[in-house]
Amino acid sequence: MKTPVRELRRLRGERIDWLLSVLTGVLALLIFVFAPLQAMGITAFHLFADGLLVAIIVSMVIISNNPTALVLMSLALVFNVAVFFLRIYYPVPYHLHILAGAWLVIACTLGVVVVQAVFRRGLVTYHRIIGAILLYLLIAVAFATLFLFVGLAAPDAIKGIAFEDDHSVAASLFYISFVTLTSTGYGDIVPVHPLARSLCNIESVIGQLYPATLLARLVTLELSSASSARKPTPTT
């Protein structure tokens, strides 16, 4: 017998699953569309990216009621907006440090929330698989920020990237991070610093194991759930 409490839990679970797909689309837009456009010199997309970050925070609040996650994400948003205006009115040499810290907080905080939503108890749905892909993208974002920290400490750490306050840095960092994660093979951007190479090794291992283990397991569970749902209920 369905009770109001059970029905509310079911509806919230469906909403969480749906939001995982929405968040994946928003983050993909930030990485694969807005970052390249910003690298082309269209600086207004920094503000658009901040707008999408607000949407990410709202979705995260719906998925998880954790106040700590909300505070961390809100602070990261404030720092992102602050850097945009500081670049215009009051240039300081630490813009990239601030952005790197803010996006590392975003990737880690959102990653924890997504892990809890994807691997919670219940039926594995298509949206949860998309959520696992979202976690894959967040891993790439986190490593991109770590590459930035290494490059700021050692400017020649990655050949082909000038670690200056330039709008093309984000696109270049996403490039090397995804090339490493997917083991595509490096082009004109190559890690040369020992720490940068170590990060590449770690990310490459994660990139190989994640789809073959966790993602494959989720797909198997989703297919099993769908097959069970299609089976006719025996009548007595």
Where do the domains of the chain lie? 9-224
More confident: 220 or 131 = 131
What is the mean predicted confidence (pLDDT) over 43-63?
A: 77
More confident: 154 or 83 = 154
What is the mean predicted confidence (pLDDT) over 133-150?
A: 96
Predicted TM-score of the model (pTM): 0.86
Structure-token match 């093309």, residue found: 168
Residues 97 and 32: their CA atoms lie apart, in Å, by 22
Model pLDDT, residue 4: 45
More confident: 137 or 186 = 137
Contact 194, 154 (CB under 8 A): no
Model pLDDT, residue 213: 85
Query: Which among 146, 145, 142, 139 has a CA at the least distance from the CA of 215?
Result: 139
